[in-house]
Amino acid sequence: MSEAVDTTGGKGLSSGSVGLLGAVVIGMSCIAPAYTLSGALGPTAAAVGTHLPAIFLVGFLPMLLVAVGYRQLNRAMPDSGTTFTWTSKAFGPWLGWMGGWGLLAATILVLSNLAGIAVEFFYLLLAQVTGRPELGDLADNVVVNVATCLVFMALACWISYRGMETTKKVQYVLVAFQLVVLVWFSVAALVHVANGTAESGIHIDAEWFNPLGVGSFSAFAAGVSLSVFIYWGWDVVLTINEETEGSSTTPGRAALATIFSIVVLYLLIGVSVVSFAGLGDTGVGLTNPDIQENVFAALAGPVMGPAAILLSLAVLSSSAASLQSTFVSPARTLLAMGYYGALPRQFAKVTPRFQSPGFATVAAAVVSSVFYTFMRIVSEDVLWDTITALGMMVCFYYGVTALACVWYFRRSWFRSVKSCLVNLVAPLVGGLLLLVFFVQTSVDSMDPSYGSGSQIGGVGLVFILGAGILALGLVVMVIQRLRSPSFFQQRFETTELPVVD
């Protein structure tokens, strides 16, 4: 790995199997707007109130800046290991390993959350279709919940195991359906407000878009950390770079196209939901603790009437689609770590038939399933807490990757105005912002009242999840160093490749 990275599909993946549109669709699928907002709207509104649209905009900015850094790194080193590979090249094997671990931790957290949301909406959909409300309560039964989750996880793993061709075909239909339903929902909510038929409705105010109006920096950081979660997933289009047509250019374009499309959609939904529901702590109010984990389930009926079942189906299909596409990132990160010797070599195994990282995909499914089972037993509010902890993990590994771009291209900072902007200013500002939010949220989450209020030994569960997973990464890294020291003894060159502007 001290030499130029092999960009010709040397790991055995199916090169050239995904085009620009396919990459954008997979990126949007991984972000999963219907599922993501269902779980994040409540906690974010509870933190920042009517400034929800402002936080969406603020969360978008570091994502855009970091995406510029990702694009630059991908042009120089298109490699499925992304954060792991790039950070290792810039800062050395130790920080590179932890960067890869941060990505793996984030995906494990979100896979468990995706499965949880899918279970909730599966039984809600059954209740709506059959007219038997008691079926919706099955999601609260721990045994039924976990068993259903494991089935969903196994199905998603099976599709991912079959490679990018199968993944791409599944995603086209599911992504198109959820986007149509979300726009329908948003327009219907705004029509209710305009007609005065929204019981808790409030009129749209320009102040909603002012991030300086948030009460405190802690609330601001918590809101941004949560908004980072709703944008998370676009980097999957970089993870599939070795399987994309034009591996050095197409993934970067797809990342930017995905982020711009998503922020427009989120602003529409954020404005419509706040305007329709308001911030009350009863009924459909966004600060009502009874609907915090699943806002769309509470709003679907009042907003869409008889068509509410479509929103339930959209969230179910969104979470199921994202559950499947999210397997792409950890599987290919594990593949790269095994390929370069940072993990046991079996993680680098590629299935000859489907040209996919079979062993790594199954390993990600097993770990995610065990994690979800444990968390569901420990905390009834597992979805909220994993969302907040996920925001911390994303801020960490996105921030580290952005700074890797800054350092790797340090000799080209002042080569031109464009080079200065894309190799220094954008990734530096984006990376530092995310790392500041990571530190602030880590400190605040130690409070037992943070997040859902769940705690262990007087320490907030969100902090235990975030810090504990990072600490576990250090332990695993030391064990791997003792078992296979060759990776950690390498000298990593940071000589730039020619194309950096």
Tokens 């990160």 locate to 333
- In this model, does residue 431 exceed pLDDT 70? yes
pLDDT band of residue 438 (cuts 50, 70, 90) is confident
Range in 62-71, 100-109, 369-378 with the lowest mean pLDDT: 369-378
- In this model, does residue 121 exceed pLDDT 80? no
What is the C-alpha separation between 499 and 501, in angstroms, rounded? 6
pLDDT band of residue 446 (cuts 50, 70, 90) is confident
332-350: pLDDT as tens digits: 999 999 999 999 989 988 8
Assigned token pair, 343: 């993990």
What is the C-alpha separation between 400 and 84, in angstroms, rounded? 10
- Using CA atoms, how far residue 481 sits from 93, 99, 165, 343, 485, in Å, is 10, 16, 36, 9, 5
* Residue 364: closest CA among 174, 114, 185: 114
Range in 15-24, 26-35, 80-89 with the lowest mean pLDDT: 15-24
Mean pLDDT of 280-305: 82
- In this model, does residue 42 exceed pLDDT 50? yes
- Dihedral, CA atoms, 307, 311, 313, 319, nearest 10 degrees? 180
Assigned token pair, 184: 């329908």
- In this model, does residue 487 exceed pLDDT 50? yes
Mean pLDDT of 89-101: 92
- Look at residue 70 in the predicted model and tell me its pLDDT: 92
pLDDT band of residue 359 (cuts 50, 70, 90) is very high
* Mean residue pLDDT across the chain: 83
| % residues pLDDT > 70 (the chain) | 91
Higher-pLDDT residue of 281 and 471 is 471
- Look at residue 165 in the predicted model and tell me its pLDDT: 66
- CA angle, 206 as apex, 204 and 207 as ends, to 5°? 105
- In this model, does residue 41 exceed pLDDT 90? no
Rounded to a whole number of angstroms, the distance between the first and last alpha carbons of the chain is 23
Higher-pLDDT residue of 165 and 264 is 264
Mean pLDDT of 57-67: 87
Phi, psi of 430 (to 5 degrees): -60, -45
Q: Please tell me whether residue 296 adopts helix, strand or coil conformation.
A: helix
* Residue 124: closest CA among 362, 293, 385, 312: 312
Higher-pLDDT residue of 142 and 226 is 142
Which residues are CB-contacts of 390 (< 8 A; sequence separation ≥ 6)?
Answer: 106, 109, 110, 113, 229, 232
Tokens 């990757």 locate to 401
- In this model, does residue 458 exceed pLDDT 60? yes
Q: Which residues of 36-184 form beta strands (DSSP E)?
A: none
- In this model, does residue 279 exceed pLDDT 60? yes
Q: Which amino acid is at 290?
A: D
- In this model, does residue 26 exceed pLDDT 60? yes
Q: What is the largest CA-CA distance in the chain?
A: 68
What is the C-alpha separation between 316 and 322, in angstroms, rounded? 10
DSSP state of 421: I
Identify the burial level of 200 via C-beta atoms within 10 angstroms of its C-beta, where 0-12 means exposed, 13-18 middle and 19 or more buried: middle
Tokens 């939904």 locate to 269
CATH for 18-79+108-377 is: 1.20.1740.10
Top mean-pLDDT range of 319-328, 406-415, 431-440: 406-415
Q: Please tell me whether residue 460 adopts helix, strand or coil conformation.
A: strand
pLDDT band of residue 65 (cuts 50, 70, 90) is very high
- CA angle, 463 as apex, 461 and 467 as ends, to 5°? 125
Tokens 């509470």 locate to 298
Q: Which amino acid is at 348?
A: A
pLDDT band of residue 453 (cuts 50, 70, 90) is low
Instruction: Dump the DSSP string for 336-364.
Output: HHHHTTSS-GGGG---TTT-S-HHHHHHH
Residue 421 · residue 123 · CB < 8 Å = no
pTM of the model: 0.82
- Look at residue 128 in the predicted model and tell me its pLDDT: 79
CB atoms within 10 A of CB 138: 17
Task: Answer left, alpha or beta for residue 207, where phi above 0 means left and psi between -120 and 50 means alpha.
Answer: alpha
Residue 348 · residue 88 · CB < 8 Å = no
- In this model, does residue 452 exceed pLDDT 70? no
* Residue 477: closest CA among 467, 466, 488: 488
* Residue 112: closest CA among 160, 145, 159: 145
- Look at residue 202 in the predicted model and tell me its pLDDT: 87
Higher-pLDDT residue of 419 and 353 is 419
Higher-pLDDT residue of 392 and 364 is 364
Residue 165 · residue 14 · CB < 8 Å = yes
